[in-house]
Amino acid sequence: MEAIEELAVQPCTSSLYLRPFRLSYRQNGTKKFWDFMRTHDSVSILIFNTSRQCFVVVKQFRPAVYMCEVERHHPQVFQNQDKESFPSLENPLPAVVGVTYELCAGIVDKPGLSLEEIACEEVLEECGYRVSIADLRRITSYRSGVGVTGSRQTLFYAEVNDQMRTSGGGGQPEEGELIEVVEIPLEESMKFAYDETFPKTMGVIFSFMWFHNNIAPKLPKK
């Protein structure tokens, strides 16, 4: 996962996933504009393995996170952003600075499938557990990247056990995915959530808190 090499930054003139726009508008008599991106909505799934009393999350390299760290250490990389060429990354940072812990998730890009069906597919592809729509509990939906994308993410909860695991997961290599499945023991989950040495999404923190408030009190006492 961390064997990243031959890094090169270049302008993005077209994308299957992002479309940049500029909105001009008048608000309370003042002329304004705002740059934004249109992208897909998404689903995410908090997975709890009842056999081993642990959360199942994923770990993967995120180029956007990596480049934020690159810019923090080497701000000159983006100084010529209006030009067609960018300075080469002669001494790139270790790839680990771009690796994050996340909930199992996926974009909503299949018009024929419901959010629940897409969530089931993602759990199987990324984490290797076969769940049905009946196994899902809808927690809530919220807006993410409100200053840039404003896309909606819908969060589900699913309980699994060892018998429901049919593969090692890992995503779809043919689509460029390289995902590591990670188990977070329940008793260590809140410490993990607030430990900044483990880079993670807000979805992980929020969903762990939701679980401790709504599910944990109902678990059998040891």
Domain spans in the chain, listed from the N-terminal domain onward: 20-78+92-215
* Percent of all residues in the chain with a pLDDT value above 90, rounded to a whole number: 74
Q: Give the residue among 87, 90, 66 at the shortest CA–CA distance from 76.
A: 87
Is the alpha carbon torsion for 37, 2, 118, 201 positive or negative?
A: negative
Q: Does residue 83 register a pLDDT over 60?
A: no
Residue with tokens 């023991």: 185
Q: Does residue 84 register a pLDDT over 70?
A: no
Asked if 58 and 102 count as a contact pair (C-beta separation under 8 A), the reply is yes
- Domain covering 20-78+92-215 in this structure, CATH number: 3.90.79.10
How many degrees, rounded to 5, is the angle at CA 48 between CA 117 and CA 17? 45
Backbone angles phi, psi at 5, to 5 degrees: -150, 170
Q: Which residues of 89-121 are buried (b: 16+ CB within 10 A; e: fewer)?
A: eeebbebebbbbbbbbbbebeeeeeebbebbbe
> Which one-letter DSSP state was computed for residue 119?
H
Q: What is the dihedral of CA 198, 199, 203, 209, to 10 degrees?
A: 30
> What's the pLDDT tens digit per position in 152-210?
999 999 999 999 999 998 877 666 668 999 999 999 999 999 999 999 999 999 999 99
The model carries a pTM of 0.91
